Chains A and B, each alone.
Chain A
Amino acid sequence: MAAYILRRLLIAVPLVFGVLTLTFFIIRLAPGDPAAFFIQPGISPNVAEQIRQQYGLNDPLPVQYLKWLGNVLHGDFGRSFSRAQQPVLEVISEALPVTMTIAILTLVANFTFGIVIGVISAVRQNTFLDRFLTVTALFFYSMPEFWFALMMIILFALKFPLFPVSGLNEVGAESYGTLQFLLDRIWHLALPVTVLSINGAAGIARYVRGSMLEVIRQDYVRTARAKGLSERAVILKHALRNALLPVVTLLGSSLPFIFSGALFIEVIFAFPGMGRVTVEAIFARDYPLIIANTFVSGTLIVLGNLLSDVLYAVVDPRIKL
């Protein structure tokens, strides 16, 4: 398996690199100008030109590419255009902890609730409980996240002010003790994580239900029941393990989500995470930041796929890599 992983990683290098090169050219060929902000009445026409000069955008494209290539090979992704010349890796390292906190909490909640609901609906197939859970899950699954988030804010922050509207902490939280600070942070994370996980859990529940239904019709489940095992043992030990095989691959593909951020949630709840960084970079035509973000998410998609494949082999001994 180690050889397989190594091979996949080696293939990933040119792949990610190709993606970056493509991004490099596409964003420069797309309409829009990073210095456009400085083209307005009252600002000297020279400013936009001077800014372009500073950013090195006046060089011919191949020259720009070679310069960029040299820097990236030295691990230097450059400085952000739109964020006051902050090194882009610093921008990303500030945004990542926020995004990861939300994403990991969400992911855990997703899979926990998703699996529980999925198993219950499958075991009680076609009962009222199953229908109720299925309809509710579909209801939440088909709801747009940003709208759902706004509704939750109106309900739980405005009508019943139980949770804060936005932000990561209260005003003045920097003077709290560590425990109080943590509790304040959890209080602020409650609404966004709920929104994200209800939506995601509903999807996973549908998945688990389908896969579970398939598995409990298998012969070996009947055998397990026939040999007198308790229903609990049959479902949790024999059926669930096998039903989770396809779900495990979902975990791998969730990896990019952990790092790339949930855009709507970040904008609505004013969290300075990766999703916002990416979109703001695109709107501002902040080339270095766009490329660095592409690098992060591209690498993660490749790694996520690899992880799914490896996990598959780990949980299913029949699969040999």
Chain B
Amino acid sequence: MKSNKLTAAAALPLLLAATLLFSACSKPKGGGQISGSARDTTLVVAMLGDADYLNPVLGASVTSGNITGLIYPSLLQSEFDTSTGLLNYLALEKSLRPVKSDDGGRSPKGALARTWTMAPDHRSITYILRSDARWDDGKPIVAGDFKFAYRLYGNPVIASPRQQYLAELLGADKGSVDFDRAIETPNDTTLVFRFFKPVPEHLALFHTSLTPLPEHVWKGVGPEQFRESKLNQRPVGSGPYRLFAWNRQQDVTLSSNPACVLPKPGNIRRIMFRIVPDYTVRLTQLQTGGVDVVENVKPEDFGAMQRANPNVELKTVGLRVFDYVGWSNIDHDWYNKTRKLRPHPLFGSPAVRQALTHAIDREAIIDGYLGTYGTICNTDISPSLKWAYDDTIKPLGFDPALSVRLLEQEGWLPGPDGIRQKNGKKFSFTLYTNAGNDRRNYACTVIQQNMKEIGIDCRIEMQESNVFFENLQSRKLDAWMAGWSIGLEIDPLDVWGSDLEKSRFNFTGYRNPRIEQLSELAKAKMRSEDARPYWVEYQQILHRDQPVTFLYWIRETHGFSKRIQGETLNISGTFYNLDDWSLKPSANTVP
């Protein structure tokens, strides 16, 4: 009996000890010494999700993008000019547009290209590369590495999410790029891209500056094994940082690479991307000093954030993201059954859609939720793209009386139950959106109330994101709320193209040949600025037709610890100049 008791008493501590030892087996890999307080020279960035591939050909997650940008070299540096809204591209000795030195603009020291020449017929571009750049393993970076990488980007078996960048290369119009002719490397420092049509210089620069991969490391890996290759976890790059440790779903740590000439890293010795899935916890970590950067802080938390910790500052950037209410312009059920078009019974007429926009109190949504971090949206061309934005457009104001008049002109008269009807059909619909988005939830509720006031019955239904997106694609929803994040090059045909089979994101079924014409005319201009008249007309047409009700642009807001210096926020990304940041030593606020 006694011995029994002893075993039982001993078993528990033993079990606990074993558990902890077991847990210690998962001690992260890494090693090396961190002198002094590791936190003083380590920048910690909280991320929502882990990296997928640390490979520029495959990486699709936000975290991967941030990391590959620091590990790998780039042909050119790009910079978003906030005064015009145009992208500038810089090589060591050349830039597309004049560089403004006063706002501390980005130095081009990270570019692999010394200079470039665009052929007069705009059918080819020739880069001269610097000869002193080396991969981490000491081998020089040569033009062949680019050609090698472009073959990978274009290989359908590899399925790179960036294959769109190859769309203008020779042969792409016939289905597959003719790499032997489209990309030539006469010597190690000369790189030539050839296009099947004249391409504007800014687009050529954008599409030819995909990140290279070291050919000598990757050449033995077949396309079938490319995604599975262990090399994806041990990237050989040449940027200012190197991969130090990657503990999946926990953190990715980079260490500075003092040997790097592209450019030399600052005093941040380590950058750790810590995966913290919960939003509240990310904010708490920023307040306690556990992390230094948190992206996408919600407006309702700004006040508390700044009161709680004066060492945190919030910075905003924008405008790239907007929400809208989509109205199906065509009768989706009919289209799905017959592939034929007819106007939607409720939303088919532009006058009705104008009435709906007038009925929605967009200011109230902005005041109630976004405050100064939102601004009314008229079309999908951002006010930040100043060179194209038409600032003469007057937003359709909140005016229920006008809305009612427009509806009655269209024949929508109040029915016995107070809900408008026309030819026996009630104006009643369900507004769908994705579950779990507080902002859209708030906006939906306001809209529901607005609709009720003008005699329209609106129900709200939240769907799981995947389901919502699939329903949207298969044209099952009549009215929905969603959002877009716009690209920095304007290319609206995916969303407004008339060929509904080809324009995958034309969920509304809006069709206007002039919109397509304008987009094509604008894209054919060799200088972006010259396309402005087309984009102005484009905005006026969208404003008139109201294919959707554009709601508001959102200023994205990120939280930073004040111990970071040199960070400038830019529409092209929070971390776009991360290699220029530095940390104030011993300014760490919490033990």
Would you call A101 and B19 a contact (CB within 8 A)?
A: yes
Contacts of B34 in A (CB 8 A): 172, 175
Given contacts A54-B157, A85-B228, A158-B288, contact A104 B467 (CB under 8 A): no
How many angstroms between the C-alpha atoms of A182 and B167 in the bound complex?
53
Nearest neighbor of A51 in chain B, beta-carbon distance: B159
How many angstroms between the C-alpha atoms of A168 and B249 in the bound complex?
11
B578 within 8 A of A: no
Would you call B466 and A174 a contact (CB within 8 A)?
A: no
B287 within 8 A of A: yes
Contacts of A185 in B (CB 8 A): 20, 23-24
B106 within 8 A of A: no
Mark out the residues of chain A between 74 and 102 whose CB falls within 8 Å of any chain B CB in the assembled complex: 79, 82-86, 94-95, 97-98, 100-101
A206 within 8 A of B: no
Would you call A32 and B470 a contact (CB within 8 A)?
A: yes
Would you call A270 and B466 a contact (CB within 8 A)?
A: no
B250 within 8 A of A: yes
How many angstroms between the C-alpha atoms of A184 and B303 in the bound complex?
33
A38 within 8 A of B: yes
Mark out the residues of chain A between 117 and 151 whose CB falls within 8 Å of any chain B CB in the assembled complex: 150
Would you call A157 and B288 a contact (CB within 8 A)?
A: yes
B565 within 8 A of A: no
Contacts of B19 in A (CB 8 A): 100-101, 104-105
| Binary flags per residue of B464-477, CB closer than 8 Å to A gives 1, else 0 | 11110111010000
B281 within 8 A of A: yes
Which among A54, A168, A172 is the interface contact of B159 at CB below 8 angstroms?
A: A54
Stretch at the interface among B136-144, B269-277, B357-365, B366-374: B269-277
How many angstroms between the C-alpha atoms of A178 and B17 in the bound complex?
13
Would you call B164 and A173 a contact (CB within 8 A)?
A: no
The A-B contact count (CB < 8 A) is 183
Mark out the residues of chain B between 278 and 301 whose CB falls within 8 Å of any chain A CB in the assembled complex: 278, 280-281, 284-285, 287-288, 290
Would you call B23 and A101 a contact (CB within 8 A)?
A: yes
Stretch at the interface among A40-48, A60-68, A216-224, A307-315: A40-48
B53 within 8 A of A: yes
Mark out the residues of chain A between 171 and 221 whose CB falls within 8 Å of any chain B CB in the assembled complex: 171-175, 178, 181-182, 185-186
Stretch at the interface among B38-46, B416-424, B441-449, B524-532: B38-46
A72 within 8 A of B: no
Question: Which of A168, A178, A269 is most buried by chain B, counting CB atoms within 10 A of its CB?
Answer: A168
Question: Which of B19, B21, B50, B464 is most buried by chain A, counting CB atoms within 10 A of its CB?
Answer: B19
Would you call B31 and A174 a contact (CB within 8 A)?
A: yes
How many angstroms between the C-alpha atoms of A7 and B477 in the bound complex?
52
Nearest neighbor of A52 in chain B, beta-carbon distance: B159
Given contacts A47-B161, A171-B42, contact A270 B275 (CB under 8 A): yes
Would you call A33 and B164 a contact (CB within 8 A)?
A: no
Would you call B504 and A181 a contact (CB within 8 A)?
A: no
Nearest neighbor of A284 in chain B, beta-carbon distance: B466
Contacts of A36 in B (CB 8 A): 466, 469-470
Q: How far is the CB of A130 from chain B (nearest CB, A)?
A: 26
Contacts of B484 in A (CB 8 A): 41
| Binary flags per residue of B243-258, CB closer than 8 Å to A gives 1, else 0 | 0010111110000000
Contacts of B280 in A (CB 8 A): 150, 153, 268
A39 within 8 A of B: yes
A56 within 8 A of B: no
Would you call B281 and A166 a contact (CB within 8 A)?
A: yes
Given contacts A31-B467, A84-B227, A181-B24, contact A38 B290 (CB under 8 A): no
Would you call B278 and A285 a contact (CB within 8 A)?
A: no
B6 within 8 A of A: no
B487 within 8 A of A: yes
Would you call B164 and A44 a contact (CB within 8 A)?
A: yes
Given contacts A105-B16, A157-B284, contact A46 B163 (CB under 8 A): yes
Contacts of B247 in A (CB 8 A): 272
Contacts of A37 in B (CB 8 A): 60
Would you call B161 and A43 a contact (CB within 8 A)?
A: yes
Would you call A171 and B24 a contact (CB within 8 A)?
A: no
B15 within 8 A of A: yes
B32 within 8 A of A: yes
Would you call A276 and B249 a contact (CB within 8 A)?
A: yes
Would you call B157 and A169 a contact (CB within 8 A)?
A: no
Q: How far is the CB of B270 from chain A (nearest CB, A)?
A: 8
Contacts of A269 in B (CB 8 A): 281
| Number of A residues with CB within 8 Å of any CB on chain B | 65
B590 within 8 A of A: yes
| Binary flags per residue of B342-360, CB closer than 8 Å to A gives 1, else 0 | 0000000000000000000
Question: Which of A32, A112, A173, A174 is most buried by chain B, counting CB atoms within 10 A of its CB?
Answer: A174
Would you call B167 and A168 a contact (CB within 8 A)?
A: no
Would you call B25 and A174 a contact (CB within 8 A)?
A: no
Would you call A175 and B284 a contact (CB within 8 A)?
A: no
Would you call A98 and B26 a contact (CB within 8 A)?
A: yes
How many angstroms between the C-alpha atoms of A216 and B247 in the bound complex?
53
Would you call B275 and A182 a contact (CB within 8 A)?
A: no
Which among B162, B249, B495 is the interface contact of A41 at CB below 8 angstroms?
A: B495
How many angstroms between the C-alpha atoms of A157 and B282 in the bound complex?
13
Contacts of A168 in B (CB 8 A): 26, 250
B411 within 8 A of A: no
How many angstroms between the C-alpha atoms of A32 and B465 in the bound complex?
9
Nearest neighbor of B23 in chain A, beta-carbon distance: A101
Nearest neighbor of B166 in chain A, beta-carbon distance: A44
Given contacts A101-B23, A167-B250, A270-B277, contact A154 B164 (CB under 8 A): no
Would you call A267 and B277 a contact (CB within 8 A)?
A: yes
Mark out the residues of chain B between 127 and 163 whose CB falls within 8 Å of any chain A CB in the assembled complex: 156-157, 159-163
Q: How far is the CB of B509 from chain A (nearest CB, A)?
A: 17
Contacts of B245 in A (CB 8 A): 174
How many angstroms between the C-alpha atoms of A43 and B487 in the bound complex?
11
Which among A38, A157, A158, A164 is the interface contact of B161 at CB below 8 angstroms?
A: A38
Contacts of B272 in A (CB 8 A): 171
Contacts of A165 in B (CB 8 A): 281, 284-285, 288, 290
Nearest neighbor of A91 in chain B, beta-carbon distance: B248
Contacts of B308 in A (CB 8 A): 158
Nearest neighbor of B64 in chain A, beta-carbon distance: A84
Would you call A186 and B470 a contact (CB within 8 A)?
A: no
Would you call B470 and A158 a contact (CB within 8 A)?
A: no
Contacts of B52 in A (CB 8 A): 82-84
Can you list 11 pairs linking A and B with CB atoms under 8 Å apart? A43-B161, A84-B52, A85-B227, A97-B23, A98-B26, A161-B288, A165-B284, A171-B274, A174-B28, A175-B32, A283-B465
Known: A158-B308, A161-B288, A171-B44. 10 other contacts (CB 8 A): A38-B159, A42-B487, A44-B163, A94-B26, A97-B26, A166-B278, A171-B272, A268-B281, A270-B278, A283-B466
Interface residues of chain B, those whose CB is within 8 Å of chain A, are 12, 15-16, 19-34, 38-39, 42, 44, 50, 52-53, 58, 60, 156-157, 159-164, 167, 227-228, 232, 245, 247-251, 270, 272, 274-278, 280-281, 284-285, 287-288, 290, 308, 464-467, 469-471, 473, 484, 487, 491, 494-495, 504-505, 590-591
Question: Shortest 4 CB-CB distances between A and B: which pairs?
Answer: A172-B38, A272-B249, A32-B466, A50-B159
